Chain A
Amino acid sequence: MAGHDAGSQHQFTGFQKYFNAYTITGRRNCVLATYASIAAIVLFFKLKPKKQTPAITAK
């Protein structure tokens, strides 16, 4: 792809070293983190215990 940098001129430190939108590994980690978050949210709602509403007794 023309016009892209290899991400080598960016010197990232800390969190940005692993999650950035420039280096190929940074992009890969962002993608994996997004998929993991979506999976976590889906699992959370699936495994959440359903609240038992008490039966409404006749007046």
Chain B
Amino acid sequence: MILSFFDQFMSPTHLGIPLIALALSLPWVLIPTPTNRWLNNRLLTLQGWFINRFTQQLMLPINLGGHKWAVLLTALMLLLITLNLLGLLPYTFTPTTQLSLNMGFAVPLWLATVIIGMRNQPTAALGHLLPEGTPVPLIPVLIVIETISLFIRPLALGVRLTANLTAGHLLIQLIATAAFVLLPMMPTVAILTSTVLFLLTLLEVAVAMIQAYVFVLLLSLYLQENV
């Protein structure tokens, strides 16, 4: 059986049971629930502080009508950041490398922001498709361009997350294989490659957190335009 570098991205099944459901429920299991004690332990306090701070920062530029999205967006952020970081452990499957999952998050949420905008403030929502002060000959061209960019948004959201994580995991596997293969032949080069691997892993930890944040931030921006 020849193992290809893309086998790590195959959605795992065992005896016909899709294990991605298990992978997706792991963040829920790992994130501790607040107790009804007056003072929680350090981990819970830190978690509560992080969630509060994040929600506050995210909701700052959004009008009151958009604040009902606070729970959804914070929960999405926690899920994505946990999935991404867990995926960096060896032999762990990362659900966010699956385009279907990321599009499943991006398209409905983006569509919801567009529909909210069209329902609550149709004039402003349509008016945003033409930048202010456009010279008259450019108006039709720019409207077409802005419409295309509107519809590209969910695609970009989903593909950005998928591509970043897939590329990162692939690079880690490639460089790790290189270091492993080089070890008996050229130990010095293998050590250099391992250093690169270490730095890359640090980068991937950062990318995992940043991509989750960017996903949620862009959604909040789209909401801000429409609410």
Contact = CB atoms under 8 A, between A and B. Distances in A.
A7 to B, nearest CB: 8
B144 to A, nearest CB: 7
Interface in B93-145: 122-124, 126-136, 139-140, 143-144
B123 A24 contact: yes
Contact of A31 (B132, B133, B136, B143): B143
Interface string A1-41: 00011010000000000000110110110111011011000
Given A25-B123, A27-B127, A28-B127, A34 B132 contact: no
B220 to A, nearest CB: 16
A15 B127 CA distance: 17
Q: Chain B binding site: helix, strand, loop or mixed by DSSP?
A: helix
A22 B140 contact: no
B140 A37 contact: yes
Given A24-B124, A25-B127, A30 B139 contact: yes
Q: Chain A binding site: helix, strand, loop or mixed by DSSP?
A: helix
Given A30-B143, A34-B140, A37-B140, A21 B126 contact: no
Interface of B: 122-124, 126-136, 139-140, 143-144
Given A4-B132, A21-B130, A27-B126, 20 more contacts: A5-B132, A7-B132, A21-B133, A21-B134, A21-B135, A21-B136, A22-B132, A24-B123, A24-B124, A25-B123, A27-B127, A28-B122, A28-B126, A28-B127, A30-B130, A30-B139, A31-B129, A31-B143, A35-B143, A38-B144
